[in-house]
């Protein structure tokens, strides 16, 4: 289970921990999302959670243009059923954990070849 850090700014609206994961082709990242059981909608990988009787979506930007172009993961945000972005302090522990799990799993498939050359 992913726990929200105590020092987190509760007024912030996104988590940047898994932003910047580069994929040589958008279709590779979309395929990874599908393989892991996540839907891709509007350029975001989406994980829907029902917590305390309230629907919350964790959304990670993955891109939505040419499937053969390079893309990178963006910030993780959480939204209410109307699509409004929540402040991180409004996100419950289950939604937080599932969103972070999704973001970490997608980011883990990034192209690390270029990262190793830069090091």
| Residue span of the structural domain in which 63 resides | 22-118
Structural tokens at position 40: 């891709």
pLDDT for 113 beyond 90: no
Residue 65 included in any domain: yes
Structure confidence at residue 101 (pLDDT): 98
Residue 12 included in any domain: no
For the full predicted model, state whether its pTM sits above 0.95.
no
Structure confidence at residue 67 (pLDDT): 75
Give me the CATH number covering residue 56.
Answer: 3.30.310
- Counted domains in the chain: 1
**Proportion of the chain above pLDDT 70, given as a percent:** 95
Which one, of 103, 110, 88, 104, lies nearest residue 46 by Cα? 103
Structural tokens at position 19: 């932003």
pLDDT for 90 beyond 90: yes
Q: If you average pLDDT over residues 28-45, what whole number do you get?
A: 95
| Kind plus residue range of the DSSP H or E element containing 117 | helix 113-118
């Amino acid at each position: 289970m992913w726990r929200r850090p105590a020092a987190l700014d509760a007024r912030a609206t996104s988590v940047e921990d898994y932003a910047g994961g580069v994929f040589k082709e958008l279709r590779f990242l979309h395929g990874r999302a599908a393989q892991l059981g996540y839907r891709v909608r509007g350029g975001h990988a989406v994980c829907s959670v029902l917590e305390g009787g309230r629907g919350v979506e964790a959304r990670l930007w993955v891109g939505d243009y040419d499937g053969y172009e390079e893309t990178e993961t963006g910030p993780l945000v959480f939204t209410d059923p109307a699509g409004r972005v929540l402040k991180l302090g409004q996100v419950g522990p289950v939604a937080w954990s599932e969103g972070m799990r999704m973001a970490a799993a997608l980011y883990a498939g990034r192209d690390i070849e270029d990262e190793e050359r830069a090091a």
